[in-house]
């Protein structure tokens, strides 16, 4: 796979990890400050997921995506 596509996949994985961490953090948080922290982490994780998905779609449509078509529901 081309490096530019590998990097987008890496962002997708990191964003998924951000969202998962925020979910777990919210379950075990003890105060409002942590709630804010995990809320921000979740928001940015979803934003990065969305941006990465858009880039993958653009690459796929212009023929520069050299991997399999991604099923994004695996990331949400």
pLDDT tens, residue by residue, 56-67: 999 999 999 987
Q: Is the pLDDT at 46 greater than 90, yes or no?
A: yes
Q: How large is the greatest C-alpha to C-alpha distance in the chain, in angstroms?
A: 48
In a domain, 12, yes or no: yes
In a domain, 23, yes or no: yes
Among the listed residues 64, 74, 61, the one whose alpha carbon sits nearest the alpha carbon of residue 13: 74
This prediction has a pTM of 0.86
- Per the CB < 8 A criterion, the answer to whether 46 and 11 are in contact is no
In a domain, 8, yes or no: yes
Give how many domains the chain has, as a whole number: 1
Domain assignment of residue 14, given as a range? 3-70
Percent above pLDDT 70 for the chain: 97
In a domain, 75, yes or no: no
């Amino acid at each position: 796979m081309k490096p530019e596509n590998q990097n987008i996949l890496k962002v997708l994985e990191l964003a998924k990890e951000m969202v998962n961490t925020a979910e777990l953090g919210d379950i075990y948080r003890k105060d409002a400050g942590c709630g804010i922290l995990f809320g921000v982490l979740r928001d940015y994780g979803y934003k990065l997921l969305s941006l990465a998905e858009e880039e993958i779609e653009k690459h796929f449509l212009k023929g520069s995506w050299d991997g399999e078509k991604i099923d994004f529901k695996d990331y949400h």
